[in-house]
Structure 1
């Protein structure tokens, strides 16, 4: 068989169309042998389908059954047509492993020590994981004989094989093997032998298993993604952007998913089958696989531990990719402490992309934590007493932002017709996000809390003492879900997708208060409460510079306006500035000040609180986020007012400059420069430069940076491959960290003799 003929046939293999047959659970594989191959090849359609007729039975009875001398899994061809040749296990020189997508045929070439006889048949034993775990009942254990008909019916969950063609000397057999579009993903093993009905040859056993993954190119697969550009963005691409910060001051981090690395593929399968212990019979369900991956990452025994309030001092930028994190886990053999929720979401995306599933990271700003159903609210308590009382209570709250995962899938929920993005966290989902704005308050829908995360209202309560009823001050119907953002397709920019998830409010604040009053709460604290008085004369305003440079003073301005023609009012104003985590949890009080104002008829008053750098820099949280709260109490009518807003300090920028036109195998200089624009001396600064998800980190050790002074450090690197290098430059200090990400395009050393 010539290599040209082999190449021609496999190209036909790649164009196989998989269509529904007569039965709902059947598909047809078109037979590939055509007359164009010529009469020099033995047409398998001329071979009887069952045991041979009598005149053939004794043809080779006195001859020993042929033995298998070689089995070729055609890594290059199968990898090309299954779009899996990027996986590290496919490119290894020693003991490579085949990665294939389900519902698509792959070629197996079997070489014998003599020509195959008419009464001799090839048989294949295919089983998932290992023989002890696989079973025929679970559709994870099959013994199949290649079909000799022009079409082969493939039942749901089954495998099938058909003859492609046979070489001229009848010693080399080309077989196409195919799983169904719903076969269990994971590791599969194969054994091949010959049988003539009386004796069998010694079986060939696969040394290393095949990896079977989802197929986003197969329209019958639950993971099918119709758009080629979307498949590249959400499956093939191994670098992404995750957005953080606050909704009007956004920062971003780059993440390398490393889905083609050996340990990431092994890890993804291990999460499903070993750590998650998902039964093999259920490993074909995309919904169950994605849920098990999300749960197994943090739930015991787990891979990582999520940051809590007491350990948020951990550097949140320490991890830039999946491979290095898994390498650390493989060394320690214990869960990594502690990681941020954007790292957990990135790990989920890495595992799912490794398994051939389209997915992305999405950030929701002002995310409601644990909303109360069915009224979809979160509680915020404050008190006019000591600052600690405001945050001491473990109540439902609002996070500055939360990063979750969205997975593209078809028909994996109760409504089989729903195709699109499904929301997923370790504790929620999968939930069809296209239905998030269609949820009825009266109808019970599984995992509807995703609706509450985006569309809940915040109830503001004022707490006095344990023996007194609490006061329902107001309901904020706007803040939660203020922005939903993700990386734009085929771009590094932000894509605002808020309108798809944020429901237009039909209730007024007054109507929502009535709903809250009528709803029976189980917590004793809310059994006795009363509603805030009406206020018609006074209006309040809170103004703050929501983004400011770290060397600037925070200015908080409040205003009170009295529109009454006759009434005088005495107002107590309290302004609190506190450093908080991205979860909204209190870290430390920066400023707590009060002001008493007397308002005459038709008058207004404004006052500005100042928070200098010397007060807030020592109390910075790891993301430099502050919460500004304004409390007002009107003595004459006991009216209470509350408003809060998140603000963020902008850190000095770490500049990166690169020698123009970096070339492969040539020295390239990367210069990092930093100016300390603050008024304080940075005692111990550490500069580092590393490729995303790389264990090779270049570090410039500790040094001191005086106020208003600059430092420049040069790093040398030698790119070994043509392409784009994604680098992370960091400056670490005692109080805060500065990170800058840069993409370095690397060109060939001699453009005339190399292709870009």
Structure 2
């Protein structure tokens, strides 16, 4: 005869058993013997009976011996009653059973179900069975019994660094190997899974400790506004660890129409949230208002932090909050992305352009008498505009396009039919590679487009009458790491104004605009470049690359080349620039020449990263034709 509490759990287990058989259809593997059954284990009531179906009595995720989860996962500041962990590392749980676990007669595994609008699915990674193993491999979902004390076992559970983030429902499923009967226990506490910038295999990994403190853990910041001649900072309380904020942030994912199978990719998640934080086409968090009339809501100037906005939106089940402007959208975006583990900061661009037609120039139109044609001026120039930079690898782009990515939740232009922007690689923006996703061209125009003035002729045609090449994208600012000083990061977004490299970037970008031939004509392509290396150099030695340049024309060609060598993580994220060179080359008609580029050991030895991966980027422009040349060559240093 069972005690009263045992009868209660036996009844519940019976119901759960039938539910599991009908709904889950999970194929279980053979039990791995991870511990020796302690048949003589004694508890407060003496020897335990080893017969009968093994059932779960309770799960401890947060207290006593599992409290280490919070500190090891850098989540001890979250005001949340549930377990908050980061993917790609182990976490602990204590499970109290009805009797000691015996691997000869009992089978036990975990089941995690991701909360989303889509039904849980094993192939999509949203229904996760976690089996017991003898040894953890640390790159997949797995669990190991690391301690057994009578009826209580301690599990060490590991998640892969690519696991979908979000809120998981946890169940413990036990089964008799004798007759196949099963019991399911559903935990009252959920598990919140976040990105992990401390895990080297995670796409959002950031190796700088001080940067992680600033861009992930700091819940206070400064957002810059004003003009480039009078920059002012506004203190902002991000509050990413405040009570209910994590639930509110994950609510944005849970209400999204985007399948949860993509929630393991920070590129996809940032793109979702960029759309969800504005309400222009999906009832997102904030409604924008630039009218000056805010009687039915709050003035954008009144907000001093993100918590009240997110909490109000969540409590009202998705009713947009009134009102926001660019710095409010940016502040909320920083909160949401830091809360889920993506390093993020607010960025302000002064003299910020808004390109409406994808030409990648900001165009102003004059009539025959040089009077403005106001109805034709669709582009605009903002005194300042605030968006965000977030940190991640870009496995979807060529190597070297990782690190900081621009993302903008302020609704300006639609991207793939939705008001969102980014993530756009800042490296791609800087080099004018506007053909790379996502929305790189729009961000490029904000910081480095030219102001072009057109005059309407009597016959209705347009003539270019003036170009301002240094009017846009000044004093790009963010809060400095570890202090309240303003840091100017303009150099990350663009080469020095007026430099040859900056002009090459502008011309490269404009060739991909919607009206490429109207401003910068395509140059004659008669110069060709190829980079080669005879053999990969030994670690500790010098590297030598050869650049073959061919002039296929019947005229002389003069080129100025710019070479740059970067240390790169295997994920494609740049660590540091180790060499910059410049070389002028003159070619006679039909001439082929070779230029050698040497990287000496002392130049790269202090910047080496795992796998010793380097990338050589070569750009140039032909003086006579304006042809732009650009290519990259990646190589590794041999360690044997």
Q: Distance in 1 between matches of 2:501 and 2:165?
A: 49
Q: Distance in 1 between matches of 2:506 and 2:401?
A: 35
Question: Once the 2 structures are TM-superposed, how far is the Cα of residue 272 of structure 1 from its aligned partner?
Answer: 1.6
1:317 maps to which of 301, 304, 319:
301
Report matched runs for 1:501-650 at 5 Å: 501-503=493-495, 504-505=497-498
1:70 equivalent in alignment to 2:58: yes
1:479 maps to which of 450, 468, 471:
471
Question: Once the 2 structures are TM-superposed, how far is the Cα of residue 471 of structure 1 from its aligned partner?
Answer: 5.7
In structure 2, the CA distance between the partners of 1:144 and 1:200, relative to structure 1 (3 Å rule), is farther
Q: Distance in 2 between matches of 1:369 and 1:250?
A: 20
2:398 maps to which of 398, 409, 415:
415
Report matched runs for 1:659-674 at 5 Å: none
1:359 equivalent in alignment to 2:375: no
Q: Distance in 1 between matches of 2:313 and 2:488?
A: 35
Report the 3-state secondary structure (helix = DSSP H, G, I; strand = E; otherwise coil) of the residue aligned with 1:79: helix
Q: Which residue of 2 aligns with 1:280?
A: 260
1:152 equivalent in alignment to 2:136: yes
Report the 3-state secondary structure (helix = DSSP H, G, I; strand = E; otherwise coil) of the residue aligned with 1:153: coil
Question: Once the 2 structures are TM-superposed, how far is the Cα of residue 268 of structure 1 from its aligned partner?
Answer: 1.5
Question: Once the 2 structures are TM-superposed, how far is the Cα of residue 267 of structure 1 from its aligned partner?
Answer: 2.0
Is the contact made by 1:371 and 1:453 (CA closer than 8 Å) also made in structure 2?
A: no
Q: What's the CA shift string for 1:261-298, capped at 9, x where partnerless?
A: 24321222121231x22212111111000110011111
2:323 maps to which of 315, 319, 338:
338
1:490 maps to which of 482, 487, 497:
482
Q: Which residue of 2 aligns with 1:122?
A: 108
Question: Once the 2 structures are TM-superposed, how far is the Cα of residue 114 of structure 1 from its aligned partner?
Answer: 2.6
Q: Distance in 2 between matches of 1:99 and 1:480?
A: 43
Q: Which residue of 2 aligns with 1:435?
A: 428
Q: Distance in 2 between matches of 1:438 and 1:113?
A: 64
Is the contact made by 1:67 and 1:113 (CA closer than 8 Å) also made in structure 2?
A: yes
Q: Distance in 2 between matches of 1:330 and 1:366?
A: 35
Is the contact made by 2:350 and 2:473 (CA closer than 8 Å) also made in structure 1?
A: yes
1:88 equivalent in alignment to 2:79: yes
In structure 2, the CA distance between the partners of 1:410 and 1:514, relative to structure 1 (3 Å rule), is closer
Is the contact made by 1:240 and 1:487 (CA closer than 8 Å) also made in structure 2?
A: yes
In structure 2, the CA distance between the partners of 1:521 and 1:106, relative to structure 1 (3 Å rule), is closer
1:460 equivalent in alignment to 2:448: no
1:210 equivalent in alignment to 2:191: yes
Q: Which residue of 2 aligns with 1:240?
A: 221
1:289 equivalent in alignment to 2:282: no
Question: Once the 2 structures are TM-superposed, how far is the Cα of residue 129 of structure 1 from its aligned partner?
Answer: 1.5
Q: Distance in 2 between matches of 1:179 and 1:266?
A: 21
Is the contact made by 2:432 and 2:505 (CA closer than 8 Å) also made in structure 1?
A: no
Q: Distance in 2 between matches of 1:194 and 1:99?
A: 25
Question: Once the 2 structures are TM-superposed, how far is the Cα of residue 221 of structure 1 from its aligned partner?
Answer: 0.5
Report the 3-state secondary structure (helix = DSSP H, G, I; strand = E; otherwise coil) of the residue aligned with 1:226: coil
Is the contact made by 1:190 and 1:209 (CA closer than 8 Å) also made in structure 2?
A: yes
In structure 2, the CA distance between the partners of 1:297 and 1:146, relative to structure 1 (3 Å rule), is same
Stretch of structure 1 that moved more, 492-501 or 330-339: 330-339
In structure 2, the CA distance between the partners of 1:462 and 1:208, relative to structure 1 (3 Å rule), is same
In structure 2, the CA distance between the partners of 1:263 and 1:104, relative to structure 1 (3 Å rule), is same
Q: Distance in 1 between matches of 2:209 and 2:79?
A: 23
Is the contact made by 2:353 and 2:380 (CA closer than 8 Å) also made in structure 1?
A: yes
In structure 2, the CA distance between the partners of 1:114 and 1:322, relative to structure 1 (3 Å rule), is same
Q: How many residues align?
A: 455
Q: Distance in 1 between matches of 2:386 and 2:447?
A: 12
Give the structure with the higher percent strand: 1
Q: What's the CA shift string for 1:119-164, capped at 9, x where partnerless?
A: 22322122211797111111222333321x2x33366xx4110111
Q: Distance in 2 between matches of 1:145 and 1:349?
A: 37
In structure 2, the CA distance between the partners of 1:111 and 1:130, relative to structure 1 (3 Å rule), is farther
Report the 3-state secondary structure (helix = DSSP H, G, I; strand = E; otherwise coil) of the residue aligned with 1:407: strand
Is the contact made by 2:277 and 2:284 (CA closer than 8 Å) also made in structure 1?
A: yes
Report the 3-state secondary structure (helix = DSSP H, G, I; strand = E; otherwise coil) of the residue aligned with 1:203: strand
In structure 2, the CA distance between the partners of 1:485 and 1:211, relative to structure 1 (3 Å rule), is same
Is the contact made by 1:44 and 1:166 (CA closer than 8 Å) also made in structure 2?
A: no
In structure 2, the CA distance between the partners of 1:141 and 1:131, relative to structure 1 (3 Å rule), is farther
Q: Distance in 1 between matches of 2:462 and 2:398?
A: 43
1:404 equivalent in alignment to 2:390: no
In structure 2, the CA distance between the partners of 1:393 and 1:432, relative to structure 1 (3 Å rule), is same
In structure 2, the CA distance between the partners of 1:164 and 1:416, relative to structure 1 (3 Å rule), is farther
Q: Distance in 1 between matches of 2:72 and 2:446?
A: 41
Report the 3-state secondary structure (helix = DSSP H, G, I; strand = E; otherwise coil) of the residue aligned with 1:202: strand
Q: Which residue of 2 aligns with 1:609?
A: none
Q: Distance in 2 between matches of 1:522 and 1:438?
A: 20
Is the contact made by 2:89 and 2:138 (CA closer than 8 Å) also made in structure 1?
A: no
Question: Once the 2 structures are TM-superposed, how far is the Cα of residue 382 of structure 1 from its aligned partner?
Answer: 5.3
Return the TM-score normalized by structure 2: 0.64
Q: Distance in 2 between matches of 1:516 and 1:189?
A: 47
Question: Once the 2 structures are TM-superposed, how far is the Cα of residue 394 of structure 1 from its aligned partner?
Answer: 4.1
Q: Which residue of 2 aligns with 1:188?
A: 168
Q: What's the CA shift string for 1:216-247, capped at 9, x where partnerless?
A: 11100011111111111000111110100001
Is the contact made by 2:430 and 2:505 (CA closer than 8 Å) also made in structure 1?
A: no
In structure 2, the CA distance between the partners of 1:280 and 1:252, relative to structure 1 (3 Å rule), is same
Report the 3-state secondary structure (helix = DSSP H, G, I; strand = E; otherwise coil) of the residue aligned with 2:95: strand
Question: Once the 2 structures are TM-superposed, how far is the Cα of residue 521 of structure 1 from its aligned partner?
Answer: 8.5
Is the contact made by 1:67 and 1:112 (CA closer than 8 Å) also made in structure 2?
A: yes
Q: What's the CA shift string for 1:152-198, capped at 9, x where partnerless?
A: 3366xx4110111112xx32111011211101100111111332312
**Uncovered stretches (5+) of structure 1, i.e. residues with no partner:** 1-42, 49-59, 90-95, 528-756
Is the contact made by 1:304 and 1:335 (CA closer than 8 Å) also made in structure 2?
A: yes
